[in-house]
């Protein structure tokens, strides 16, 4: 499981529309809204799927920016294969 904390900035006056759209995206949870700032977490199974959803966030109407604050990916099974390649 990959968990990321993300700050999404909405265009002025469009915050509520962005929040509604974000809540429709699988794995996204909205935690706090203040002015144009929206704090979300994104949960996904792999790093690749996390990237895919992040790209989807950038395409939401009226989004001015998407900023990764933190990510935790200890349980991503695809990392095991990548790390094993370094052991050789």
Which pLDDT does position 67 carry in this prediction?
98
Strand partners, 37: 9, 34
Our CA angle for 19, 58, 8, nearest 5°, is 45
Which pLDDT does position 78 carry in this prediction?
63
**Tens digits of pLDDT across the chain (88 residues):** 899 999 999 999 999 999 999 999 999 999 999 999 999 999 998 889 999 999 999 999 999 999 999 999 776 566 665 555 445 5
For residue 87, what are the CA distances in angstroms to 26, 76, 78, 84? 35, 18, 15, 5
Strand partners, 67: 7
In the CATH hierarchy, which fold is given to the domain comprising 2-86?
Answer: Alpha-Beta Plaits (3.30.70)
What is the four-CA torsion angle of 13, 67, 59, 18, rounded to 10 degrees? -30
């Amino acid at each position: 499981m990959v968990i990321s904390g993300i700050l999404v900035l909405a265009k002025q006056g469009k915050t509520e529309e962005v929040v509604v759209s974000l809540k429709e995206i699988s794995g996204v949870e909205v935690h706090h809204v203040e002015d144009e700032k929206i704090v979300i977490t994104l949960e996904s199974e792999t790093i690749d799927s996390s990237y895919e959803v992040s790209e989807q966030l950038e395409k939401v109407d009226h989004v001015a920016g998407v900023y990764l604050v933190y990510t935790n990916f200890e349980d991503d099974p695809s990392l095991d294969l990548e790390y094993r390649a370094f052991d050789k």
